[in-house]
Amino acid sequence: MESFLIKGGVPLHGEVTISGAKNAALPIMAATLLTSEPCVIRHVPNLSDVRFMGRILTWLGAKVSIEAGTVRVQAKKIKGQGDYDLVRKMRGSICIMGPLLGRLKQARVSLPGGCTIGPRPINLHLKGFEALGAKITIEAGYVQAAAKRLAGSTMFLGGRAGSTVLGTANVMMAATLAEGVTVIESAACEPEVVDLAKFLNAMGAKISGAGSPTITITGVKELHGAEHEVIPDRIEAATYAIAAAATNGEVTLKGARADHLHAVIDKLHEAGVAVKRQGTNLVVRRKGRLKSSDVTTLPYSGFPTDVQAQMMALMTLAPGLSIITERIFESRFMHVSELARLGADIEIEGPSAIVKGGRPLSGAPVMASDLRASAALVVAGLAANGTTQVNRVYHIDRGYENIDGKLRQLGARIQRVEES
C-alpha cells in the first residue's frame, strides 16, 4: 500500500483545476444502461471508483472505454445481475439497480460496501422500487427486484437523516421507463441529482423539478444515446479551499461552482477566510487570524457531510472553541483520533465534536479510515510542523484525482511512497 509523506508549513499558492464530480459521474455512468445506443460522458475524473464502475458496466455486457476524461459506453445487450465481488466493494455501485430494473424489469445486485462511516442502508431505494411495482427479495448477500411492469406512483423518500441522494437517483432512473407519472417527494436536492436528471433528459426522459424536494418523472417507452459534461466536484473544490486557508496561502480554484458551495463559503467567511469570484473561478485566501466556527452537517443546501472532516482540521488551527455536529452519518468522526496524533484537542460528545483550536500541529504517522478523513489528514499535514505520513491513501484515490500532483503544483511538499 501507498502513503503520503508531507513536509508541512508551506503556504499553498497558485491555481488548481477542479475535476469532474465523482458523485455525479458514477450514477451518470450507470444511467447509460438504460439505452442500447452509445453515450459519451466528458469531464469524468480519473479515479479508482470510476474505473471500478467501468468494470461493473463491462461485466454487465456493455462496451466501455475510459480515456483522457471521456467515458464512452454502449450497452447493447446487458444482463440483470451485477458481479458480487465487484459491486460489494463500492457503495456507489448500487446505482446500477435502478437502470437494470427500468430496462430489464429485473435486477439482482449484491449489497454494497464502501467507506466505514456508519450504516448506510438502502431501504429507501427498495421502498421506491416497490412503489413502482417491483417485488423485492434479499438473500445470500443479494438484493433482487423484479416486476412484470413498472407503473408510476407518488412516493416519499425521506429518511432519518433526510433525503437519500443515491436512492433518489436510483428510483429516478428506474422511473424513466415506467408507465405513467412518478412523483418523488422529499427528493434529494444535491447538484449531482440535477446533473443526472440533465443527462437523462438528454437521453429522452421527461423529468422536472430536479434540485427541489419534488421531482416528477413522466415515463417514456425508450431512451436514446446522449452526450454530457459532468459538473465540477464541489467537495474537491471545498477541500482545496480549506487547504489554502489552513496553510495561510492563496489559491485559485479554476472551474469551481460558487452556486454549489454556498454553505461552505459562508462558514469559511465566518472563519476569517475570503472567497471571491473571479470570472468562472474562485480565489481563496485568509484575511488574518482564523476564527472558530460552529458547523452542523445537513442535506443540501446545508453544510455537506463530505466536508465535515476537512473543516474540523481547519478548526484545530483556529483559536477558541468550535462545535462540529454530524447529522448525516453516525460514525463519521474516525478522523478525530488521528488528528489527535498531530496534536489536536478534540472531544466527542454524542453527535458533536468539540474542537479546542489554536494549538500548533506537529507531524506524525496517521492512518486514513475513509475518503474524506484522508483529505482532512492531508490538510492537517500541510499545516503541521514537521513531517506527516498519511497511510492507506487508496481511500483518497477513490475521490480525488491526482491530489498529490495538484498539491505539488501549489507548492506543497508531498510525495507518494510505498508504506514501510
- 160-199 pLDDT tens trace: 878 999 999 999 999 999 999 999 999 999 999 999 999 9
Handedness of CA 360, 365, 367, 368 (dihedral sign): positive
Share of the chain above pLDDT 90, in %: 87
Q: How far apart are CA 39 and CA 75, in angstroms?
A: 9
The owner of cell 474562485 is: 282
Asked whether 401 and 379 are in contact (CB, 8 A), the reply is no
Q: Which CATH superfamily is domain 22-221 in?
A: Enolpyruvate transferase domain (3.65.10.10)
Domain 2-18+232-418 has CATH 3.65.10.10: yes
pTM: 0.95
- Give the Cβ contact number of residue 1 at 10 Å: 8
pLDDT tens per residue, range 284-329: 999 999 999 999 999 999 999 999 999 999 999 999 999 999 999 8
Enumerate the domain spans of the chain: 2-18+232-418, 22-221
Residues identified as active-site: 115
Q: Decide whether 2-18+232-418 matches 22-221 in CATH topology.
A: yes
Break the chain down into helix, strand, coil percent, rounded to 5: 35, 30, 35
